[in-house]
């Protein structure tokens, strides 16, 4: 059990979480959009092949996602799980420049994706176990703020390094960030993590003999709001995942020498905006409503897709990318909050996160493949508009079918929180 009265220990845990989110920013997503630029400019792959390899790697993550959430629910070695995953992702990425050919690159990135899926549920679980449900939305907003700040810093360094040393420099930057992430994760005091709270058993502490026990895994299929939310998340990422790689490819085709640096500019532009958006979600989500924030994130995508078609100018494409900061900044902060709300006292918070992120990964995997095929057949503008239309469908589903569930922090306490029973949630 965590030492709830030990203020120094909780302060140390909070600071270590800040640092872990900053350094893991560059590690948790692997090479991300840099992979598309590298394969296009250095390996001379076509857009369809790039989309396929990125989709296969994402599918590997899909297969690992829900088991990863279940592992986080059950293990008390959450810190070591993150350490091992960080080492695997870094090794797979650093070795990439030594590889050539479709299958070696596909396998290495599949391994990286499969290991990387552990970070979102593990960070969210540790955060919930440290601060409790009452402060969870604020802690997630803080997590995302430091994550985006880390992404922005890494992208700035990557852009400068790629300009001076070539596109492969970004691979070695990850190794440096990995060292920082390992030190930060290990700095989180183990005793500060309440592992019952970390899996969503909020009332277990109040009644250890007869309190809530973990629900069966059937809760993932019987909780209707969770299923609807998973569909909306899949549509969000089906629309969103391919947009940045497509922009990177358009920029690289205009100037191969500046492709990676311009991609870094796009990432920095978005990440700078994501920081205040994540802070806004953390501060206002419980008051303004979780669904409203998610709807706003969905609505940004069609607007962004249409604006991309207006011009191929470098400044315009980078400028439109600022909108990605609004949508992704909101989504990253609100997603675990919604899942935690739906899974309160089920003991299945992290496996539910894994299931939702599985839906997210399915959308992302299909997104890059779909966009690559549309680009080959009809061009970049058609691909952007198709992605925007998918986001509009997601907005409609969320608007009409996802119920609003919100709680006020004032009505909650860290260790004793009145919540709907698992059966009530499932029947909703």
Query: What integer best gives the mean pLDDT of the chain?
Result: 82
Residue 207, pLDDT above cutoff 50:
no
pLDDT-based confidence at 239, cuts 50/70/90?
Answer: very high
Ranges 45-59, 62-76, 184-198, 407-421: which has the least confidence:
407-421
User: For residue 264, how far is the Cα from the chain centroid?
Assistant: 18
**Measured between alpha carbons, how far is 151 from 68 in angstroms, rounded to an integer?**
23
**Measured between alpha carbons, how far is 6 from 183 in angstroms, rounded to an integer?**
22
Residue 413, pLDDT above cutoff 60:
no
pLDDT-based confidence at 32, cuts 50/70/90?
Answer: low
Ranges 21-30, 82-91, 193-202, 283-292: which has the least confidence:
21-30
A 10 A CB-CB count for 119 gives 26
pLDDT-based confidence at 134, cuts 50/70/90?
Answer: confident
Ranges 25-34, 78-87, 203-212, 247-256: which has the least confidence:
203-212
Q: What's the average model confidence in pLDDT over 27-42?
A: 73
Ranges 78-82, 117-121, 348-352, 402-406: which has the least confidence:
402-406
**Which residue is it, tokens 């539910």?**
352
Q: For position 141, what pLDDT does the model report? A: 93
Angle at 52 between CA 46 and CA 55, to 5 degrees: 140
**Measured between alpha carbons, how far is 248 from 31 in angstroms, rounded to an integer?**
13
Report yes or no on 1 lying in a domain: no
Residue 123, pLDDT above cutoff 90:
yes
Q: For position 260, what pLDDT does the model report? A: 64
Q: Are 414 and 135 in contact (CB under 8 A)?
A: yes
Report yes or no on 86 lying in a domain: yes
**Measured between alpha carbons, how far is 101 from 197 in angstroms, rounded to an integer?**
46
Q: For position 405, what pLDDT does the model report? A: 65
**Which residue is it, tokens 């090479």?**
31
Residues 6+ apart with CB under 8 A from 293: 281, 285, 330, 333, 334
Domain boundaries, position 37: 7-200+217-427
pLDDT-based confidence at 154, cuts 50/70/90?
Answer: confident
Residue 206, pLDDT above cutoff 60:
no
Report yes or no on 253 lying in a domain: yes
The domain tally of the chain equals 1
Burial letters 357-385, b for 16+ CB under 10 A, else e: bbbbbbbbbbbbbbbbebbeeeebbebbb
Q: What's the average model confidence in pLDDT over 112-125?
A: 91
Residue 205, pLDDT above cutoff 50:
no
Report yes or no on 205 lying in a domain: no
pLDDT-based confidence at 202, cuts 50/70/90?
Answer: low
> pTM of the entire structure?
0.76
Give the tens place of pLDDT for each residue, 53-74.
887 887 888 888 889 988 998 8
Token duo for residue 378:
């009809």
- Highest-scoring range by mean pLDDT, 73-77, 92-96, 157-161: 73-77
**Measured between alpha carbons, how far is 173 from 154 in angstroms, rounded to an integer?**
8
Q: What is the CATH number of the domain that holds 93?
A: 1.20.1250.20
Give the tens place of pLDDT for each residue, 364-381.
878 988 998 999 889 999
Report yes or no on 403 lying in a domain: yes
**Measured between alpha carbons, how far is 405 from 338 in angstroms, rounded to an integer?**
8
Q: Are 317 and 308 in contact (CB under 8 A)?
A: yes
Report yes or no on 207 lying in a domain: no
Tell me which of 170 and 203 has the higher pLDDT.
170
Q: What's the average model confidence in pLDDT over 316-344?
A: 90
Nearest to 81 by CA among 120, 119, 129, 29: 119
Report yes or no on 305 lying in a domain: yes
Q: For position 26, what pLDDT does the model report? A: 75
**Measured between alpha carbons, how far is 58 from 361 in angstroms, rounded to an integer?**
6
Residue 428, pLDDT above cutoff 50:
no
Report yes or no on 209 lying in a domain: no
Q: What's the average model confidence in pLDDT over 82-95?
A: 88
Q: Is 189 helix (H, G, I), strand (E, B) or coil?
A: coil
């Amino acid at each position: 059990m965590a030492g709830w009265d030990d203020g120094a220990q909780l302060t140390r845990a909070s600071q270590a979480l800040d640092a872990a989110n900053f350094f893991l920013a560059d590690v948790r997503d692997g090479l991300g959009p840099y992979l598309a630029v590298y394969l296009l400019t250095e390996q001379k792959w076509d857009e369809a092949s790039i989309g396929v390899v990125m989709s296969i790697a994402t599918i590997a993550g899909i297969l690992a996602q829900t088991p990863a959430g279940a592992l986080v629910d059950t293990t008390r070695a959450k810190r070591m799980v993150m350490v091992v995953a960080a080492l695997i992702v870094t090794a797979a990425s650093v070795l990439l420049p030594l590889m050539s050919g479709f299958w070696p690159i596909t396998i290495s990135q599949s391994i990286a994706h499969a290991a990387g899926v552990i970070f979102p549920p593990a960070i969210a679980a540790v955060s919930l176990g440290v601060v409790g449900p009452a402060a969870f939305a604020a802690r997630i907003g803080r997590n995302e703020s430091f994550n985006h700040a880390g992404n922005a810093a890494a992208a700035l360094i990557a852009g400068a390094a790629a300009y001076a040393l070539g596109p492969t420099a970004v691979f070695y930057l990850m190794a440096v960030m990995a060292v920082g992430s390992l030190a930060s994760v290990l700095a989180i005091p183990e005793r500060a993590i309440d592992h019952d709270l970390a899996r969503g058993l909020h009332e277990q502490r109040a009644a250890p003999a007869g309190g809530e026990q973990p629900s069966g895994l059937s809760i993932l299929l019987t909780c209707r709001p969770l299923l609807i939310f998973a569909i909306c998340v899949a549509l969000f990422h089906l629309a969103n995942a391919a947009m940045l790689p497509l922009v990177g490819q358009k920029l690289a085709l205009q100037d191969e020498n500046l492709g990676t640096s311009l991609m870094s500019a796009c990432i920095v532009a978005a990440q700078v905006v994501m920081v205040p958006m994540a802070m806004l979600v953390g501060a206002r989500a419980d008051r303004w409503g979780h669904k409203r924030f998610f709807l706003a994130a969905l609505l940004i995508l069609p607007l962004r897709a249409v604006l991309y078609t207006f011009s191929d100018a470098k400044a315009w494409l980078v400028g439109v990318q600022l909108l990605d900061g609004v949508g992704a900044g909101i989504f990253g902060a609100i997603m675990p909050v919604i899942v935690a709300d739906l899974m309160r006292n089920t003991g299945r918070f992290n496996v539910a996160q894994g299931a939702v992120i599985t839906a997210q990964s399915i959308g992302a995997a299909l997104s890059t493949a779909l966009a690559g095929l549309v680009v080959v057949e009809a061009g970049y503008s058609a691909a952007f508009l198709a992605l925007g239309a998918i986001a509009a469908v997601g907005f409609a589903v969320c608007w009409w079918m996802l119920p609003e569930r919100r709680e006020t922090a004032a009505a909650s306490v860290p260790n004793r929180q009145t919540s709907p029973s698992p059966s009530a949630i499932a029947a909703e």
